């Protein structure tokens, strides 16, 4: 994540975990656009624990594949000619291999799954970092967020942007999906 997002991330860090809500930070630094997403796993998967069934493992893998197609989730101003450079996903609840779209979906390892006690059901989040590179960064003036279509469990996003034109904040929803500057 770009160094410019650090103040934004810390500003969000003290808010409570809320289902249906997510936090989005955008930092524009020259041709680089860093987007950080923090979301409860429930918004994306319908559960917040390590997957215990083959269906849950598949849902995690499908979510990870979709996240790695971030150009379909975040539409940057077309005139800026931005391309997705990298994606990083992490969660304390999910096996990193499930978050890697290049890794095949393997059966759950022995000793995992339904036999595990659900006592560790405390909240779990997904942290995602996306890096875009823009050929014409001066033409960049907005990001349309299409996460609501991909994951109907997501109801609102607290979005913050730091750009050469200043800082912006917006509450996003399925009806208001863009942050502009």
Q: Is 97 part of any domain?
A: yes
State the average pLDDT over residues 140-154. 96
What is the number of residues in the chain?
A: 181
Judge whether 86 lies within some domain: yes
Q: Tell me, yes or no, whether 81 lies in a domain.
A: yes
Q: How far is CA 165 from the centre of its chain?
A: 24
Predicted local confidence at residue 105, as pLDDT: 81
What digits encode the pLDDT tens for the residues 78-128? 999 999 999 999 999 999 999 999 888 876 665 554 434 443 456 899 999
Q: Rounded CA gap, 170 and 172, in Å?
A: 6
For residue 110, tell me if it sits in a domain. no
Do 4 and 11 meet the contact criterion of CB atoms below 8 Å apart? no
Residue 66, pLDDT score: 97
Give percent of the chain with pLDDT exceeding 70: 82
- Which segments within the chain are labelled E, that is strand? 21-29, 32-40, 74-76, 82-90, 125-134, 142-145, 156-163, 166-172, 178-180
How many structural domains is the chain composed of? 1
**Residue 136: pLDDT band by 50, 70, 90 thresholds?**
very high
Burial label for 126, CB within 10 Å (0-12, 13-18, 19+), is buried
Write out pLDDT tens, residues 44-65: 999 999 999 999 999 999 999 9
Tokens coding 134: 């823009």
CA dist 145 and 74 (Å) reads 5
Nearest to 51 by CA among 92, 112, 6: 112
Q: Which domain holds residue 153?
A: 3-104+122-176
Cα–Cα distance for residue pair 108/61, rounded to 1 Å: 12
113 inside domain: no
Whether residue 150 is contained in a domain is answered as yes
Distance of CA 113 to the CA centre of its chain: 25
């Amino acid at each position: 994540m770009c160094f410019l997002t650090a103040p934004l991330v810390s500003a969000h860090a003290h808010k409570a975990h809320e289902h249906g809500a997510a936090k989005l930070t955008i930092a524009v630094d020259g041709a680089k656009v860093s987007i950080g997403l923090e979301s409860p796993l429930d918004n994306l998967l319908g559960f917040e624990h390590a997957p215990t069934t083959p269906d849950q493992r598949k849902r995690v893998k499908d979510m990870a594949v979709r996240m790695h197609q971030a150009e379909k989730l975040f539409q940057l101003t077309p005139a800026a000619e931005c391309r997705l450079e990298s994606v990083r996903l992490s969660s304390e609840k999910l096996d990193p291999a499930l978050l890697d779209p290049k890794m095949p979906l393997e059966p759950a390892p022995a000793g995992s799954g339904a036999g595990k006690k659900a006592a560790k059901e405390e909240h779990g989040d997904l942290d995602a970092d996306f890096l875009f590179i823009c050929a014409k960064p001066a033409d960049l003036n907005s990001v349309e967020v299409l996460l609501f279509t991909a994951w109907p469990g997501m109801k609102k996003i607290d979005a913050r942007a730091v750009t050469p034109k200043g800082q912006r904040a917006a509450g996003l929803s399925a009806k208001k999906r863009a942050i502009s500057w």
